[in-house]
Amino acid sequence: MENQLFKNKYRIKSIRLKHWDYSSCGAYYVTICTKDRECFLGEITNGKMLLSNIGQTVEKFWMEIPKHYPNVQLDEFVIMPDHLHGLIFIDDLFPVEACHGMSLQTRVRTYNKFSKPVSQSLSMIINQFKSAIKRWCNKNGFTNFAWQSRFYESIIRNEKHLNAIREYTINNPLKFELNKKSCPSDF
């Protein structure tokens, strides 16, 4: 399938796993970026992330996701100057620990053919989280804040993959600083 235009810009082919029910039991690694990768969330100094007011709110609201979605557990996450990485476990009929041992084929269900929002799905969780942050920013004078319109996700397929993602997430601030991405410190 060729790339098609989206809002008069490029459109990349979806990375979503076909026929996967993103509200099903599973472990997901997500990356959510600020619009144009602007450093709204803070800055890194000496390998440590110093959160801005927006970054502190992102952390608070991220930690509250399980209060709004009782079937969700959070694992490692890190807030960076211009993005967030986080592991989300969605539990449905099985304990979350059981999800890791299940094959992808076992967990595939009928997908939503009409693209209507699916309650308790990964997309719904992330979209509600992003919306809550944007509303908070608008109410608190940070009206220039915006998220990138989409988010990146990866299905965690086994324990080795999970551990690699955890390590990457924990070490992300140091790697970010080593790459010397400059972010203005006017937060």
Q: Specify whether the CB–CB gap between 30 and 86 falls below 8 A.
A: yes
**Is 111 within the bounds of a domain?**
no
Structure letter (DSSP) for residue 34: B
Is 154's pLDDT higher than 50? yes
Question: How many domains does one find in the chain?
Answer: 1
Residue of 123, 158, 124 whose CA lies nearest to 26 = 158
Residue 148: domain span: 26-106+120-178
Tokens, residue 164:
């690699």
- Cα of 14 vs its chain's centroid, Å: 16
Q: What is the pLDDT of residues 39-80, one digit of tens each?
A: 999 999 888 899 999 999 999 999 999 999 988 999 999 999
User: What is the reported pTM?
Assistant: 0.75
Give 57 or 103, the one with higher predicted confidence: 57
Q: Specify whether the CB–CB gap between 139 and 131 falls below 8 A.
A: no
Give the separation between CA 181 and CA 171, rounded to whole angstroms.
15
| Beta-bridge partner residues of 147 | 34
**Is 11 within the bounds of a domain?**
no
**Is 127 within the bounds of a domain?**
yes
**High-pLDDT (> 70) share of the chain, %:** 66
Give the separation between CA 77 and CA 164, rounded to whole angstroms.
13
**Is 47 within the bounds of a domain?**
yes
Domain with 82 in it: what CATH number?
Answer: 3.30.70.1290
Is the four-CA dihedral 78, 31, 82, 136 of positive or negative sign? Answer: negative
Place of tokens 């890194």: 44
